[in-house]
């Protein structure tokens, strides 16, 4: 009898073990290095690993996320149309996913079907809210596509100059420096203008970045380099179009957008030409391409909120190989090189009882959410609120090791000029010059270890 009981209980244990294998929500107590985004981490490393809803959403929230997902995938067409009406008249692409393919980083081309690069434009100076000054007949963003029958604003030409460099041990690498020029202007631009190219960034973990308490971000500021480490991060404060207030900028390559809602309505308006209740005026208003149609807002609030929620609730893939000795070594070198000063490993999100799924989560985004001087090599020389022409927001590194899988072959930095993580590192300058120099001095084995660590993110 006893034997039977033992077998029986073993059976129970086996069944439990079998059924426990499915990766689902991990309680915080089982926290480990793989959990890049706390409870909102997913265990996936395929091309779809950026496309998962937070594991902890309620049934209704999953429904709203899915609705947002459907709109995010929707291809819009010229108005009037029975389905998905409202594209353009001038635009950069006809759906969210055309640029945010697989919810990942985009393709650094302009004007083609799946191009994910757009170019911001402005006149020198600042507007009354401290932001960039719109260019007459062009606004603040160049739309290089248009519906049939009206001209796009321009054609964006990208040219690269390759140059070969070497690490201290003699191994060479190549950097390609882009230049951006405009042609086929639909109307002449009067006066001088500034351009800034921006690549579609990955969509993962945005809600968690939005949930980091402002006080925690500001703690990292050191605008005068009081601690003498050569690194001077500061926050960007920007005008928020939705609330009509000045707020901490968190999103975009220069942290020029305060909230995900504003990011979404701006993208609808400027990138696709879709109006919303927040931005009910077509991007082409006042220009010859304007359609004079009384169909605004083209996206109802229900769908806008669904897309906003979708963008807020995309989970972050778990790290891989976290116990690997080379990865561990690379992580130590990453810290010694002071990469981790700006690419700050850990934040804890704010307590928010209305959003239990992202409340009080220990997350590892590897960003301080501040802007830093990255040197003349990366500079766009176009100020954006408090971020000057050489400053960029520290890009989050979570998911970095999967860029190649999610968006083959994988591009890096604000305009996709880097074709590998190595190139991205070697483009660093300004406040990051010392870290780059450290990396340059490393042996091949140590550089490989740093890259192995980055690949594990």
Partner 1 sequence: MKKAILLSACALTIFIAGCSKNNSNPTNNNTNVTEANVLTSFATTVVNPNYADINAKAAVMNTAVATFVATPTDANLKAIQTAWKDTRAAWESCEGFLFGPVEDFNYDPTMDSWPVSKNDIDGLLADNSNALSPTDLANLQNDNLIGFHAIEYIVFGVGSTQKAANITAREKVYLTSLSQNLYNTTLQLKNSWDPSQSNYTAQFTTAGTGSTTYKTRLDAFKALVGSMADICDEVGTSKMQEPLTSNGGKPDSTLDESSFSHNSVTDFKNNITGIRNAYLCTYGGKTGSVSLSAFVASKNASLDNKLQTQMNAAIASFATITTTYEKAIYTQKSQIQAVQAAIATLHDSIENDLNAFIVANVKD
> Cβ 85 to partner 1, closest distance in Å?
9
Query: Which one of 25, 44, 133, 189 is in contact with partner 1 (CB under 8 A)?
Result: 44
> Cβ 46 to partner 1, closest distance in Å?
5
> Cβ 206 to partner 1, closest distance in Å?
22
- Strands 316-317, 41-42: parallel, antiparallel or unpaired by DSSP? parallel
Cis peptide before 80 (omega within 30 of 0): yes
Q: Which is nearer to partner 1, 87 or 217 (CB)?
A: 87
- Contacts for 454 with CB less than 8 Å, ≥ 6 apart: 330, 334, 397, 400, 401, 421
Our finding on whether 159 is near partner 1 (CB under 8 A) is no
Do residues 47 and 32 touch, judged by C-beta distance below 8 A?
Answer: no
Which residues from 52-111 bind partner 1, rule CB under 8 A? 66, 70, 73, 75, 77-84, 87, 94, 98, 101-102, 111
Burial of 248 (0-12, 13-18, 19+ CB in 10 A): middle
Q: How far apart are CA 311 and CA 438, in angstroms?
A: 36
Of the listed pieces 13-21, 183-191, 202-210, 242-250, which binds partner 1 according to CB under 8 A? 13-21
Which residues from 127-156 bind partner 1, rule CB under 8 A? 145, 147-149
3-state SS, residue 429:
coil
Q: Which is nearer to partner 1, 43 or 237 (CB)?
A: 43
CA proximity to 207, closest of 53, 72, 345, 317:
53
Burial of 384 (0-12, 13-18, 19+ CB in 10 A): buried
Residue 79: both structure tokens together: 């108005």
Of the listed pieces 25-33, 46-54, 217-225, 277-285, which binds partner 1 according to CB under 8 A? 46-54
> Cβ 317 to partner 1, closest distance in Å?
12
> Cβ 95 to partner 1, closest distance in Å?
8
Do residues 86 and 295 touch, judged by C-beta distance below 8 A?
Answer: yes
CA proximity to 109, closest of 118, 101, 100:
118
CA proximity to 230, closest of 333, 330, 342:
342
Do residues 199 and 416 touch, judged by C-beta distance below 8 A?
Answer: yes
Q: Which is nearer to partner 1, 392 or 411 (CB)?
A: 411
Q: Partners of 90 in the beta sheet?
A: 146
> Cβ 1 to partner 1, closest distance in Å?
7
Our finding on whether 23 is near partner 1 (CB under 8 A) is yes
Q: Which is nearer to partner 1, 110 or 378 (CB)?
A: 110
> What is the dihedral sign for C-alpha 70, 414, 367, 173?
positive
Which residues from 377-396 bind partner 1, rule CB under 8 A? none
Of the listed pieces 3-11, 217-225, 240-248, 377-385, which binds partner 1 according to CB under 8 A? 3-11
Of the listed pieces 10-18, 171-179, 311-319, 334-342, which binds partner 1 according to CB under 8 A? 10-18
Give contact residues for partner 1 (rule: CB under 8 A): 1, 4-5, 7-12, 14-15, 18, 21-23, 44-48, 66, 70, 73, 75, 77-84, 87, 94, 98, 101-102, 111-114, 145, 147-149, 404-405, 407-409
């Amino acid at each position: 009898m006893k034997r039977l009981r033992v077998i029986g209980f073993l059976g129970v244990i086996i069944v439990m073990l079998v059924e426990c294998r499915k990766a689902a929500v991990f309680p915080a107590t089982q926290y480990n290095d793989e959990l890049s985004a706390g409870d909102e981490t997913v265990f996936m490393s395929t091309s779809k690993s950026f496309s998962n809803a937070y594991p902890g959403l309620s049934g209704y929230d999953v429904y709203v996320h899915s609705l947002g997902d459907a709109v995010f995938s929707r291809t819009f067409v010229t108005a009037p149309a029975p389905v998905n009406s409202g594209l353009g008249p001038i635009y950069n692409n006809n759906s969210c996913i055309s640029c945010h393919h697989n919810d990942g980083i985009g393709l650094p081309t302009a004007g083609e079907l799946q191009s994910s690069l757009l170019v911001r434009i402005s006149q020198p100076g600042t507007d009354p809210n401290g932001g960039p000054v719109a260019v007459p007949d062009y606004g603040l963003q160049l739309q290089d596509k248009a519906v049939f029958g009206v001209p796009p604003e321009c054609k964006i030409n990208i040219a690269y100059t390759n140059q070969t460099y070497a690490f201290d041990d003699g191994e060479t690498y190549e950097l390609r420096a882009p230049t951006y020029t405009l042609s086929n202007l639909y109307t002449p631009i009067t006066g001088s203008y500034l351009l800034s190219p921006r690549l579609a960034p990955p969509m993962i973990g945005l809600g968690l970045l939005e949930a980091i308490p402002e006080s925690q971000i500001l703690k990292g500021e050191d605008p005068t380099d009081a601690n003498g480490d050569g690194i001077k991060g500061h926050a960007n404060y920007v005008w928020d179009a939705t609330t009509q207030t000045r707020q901490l900028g968190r999103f975009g390559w220069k942290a020029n957008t305060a909230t995900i809602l504003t990011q979404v309505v701006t993208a609808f308006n400027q990138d696709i030409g879709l109006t919303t209740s927040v931005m009910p005026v077509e991007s082409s208003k006042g220009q010859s391409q304007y359609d004079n149609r009384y169909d605004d807002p083209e996206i109802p609030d229900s769908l806008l909120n669904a897309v906003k929620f979708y963008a807020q609730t995309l989970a972050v893939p778990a790290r891989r190989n976290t116990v690997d000795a080379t990865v561990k070594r690379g992580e130590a070198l990453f810290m010694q090189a002071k990469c981790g000063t700006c690419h700050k490993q850990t934040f804890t999100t704010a307590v928010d009882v209305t959003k239990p799924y992202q409340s009080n989560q220990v997350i590892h985004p590897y960003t301080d959410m501040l802007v830093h001087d990255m040197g003349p090599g990366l500079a766009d020389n176009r100020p954006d609120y408090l971020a000057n022409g050489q400053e960029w927001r520290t890009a989050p590194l979570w998911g970095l090791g999967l860029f190649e899988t999610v968006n083959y072959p994988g591009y890096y930095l604000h305009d996709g000029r880097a074709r590998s993580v190595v190139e991205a590192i070697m483009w660093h300058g300004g406040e990051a010059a010392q870290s780059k120099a450290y990396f340059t001095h490393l042996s091949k084995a140590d550089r490989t270890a740093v890259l192995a660590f980055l690949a594990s993110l």
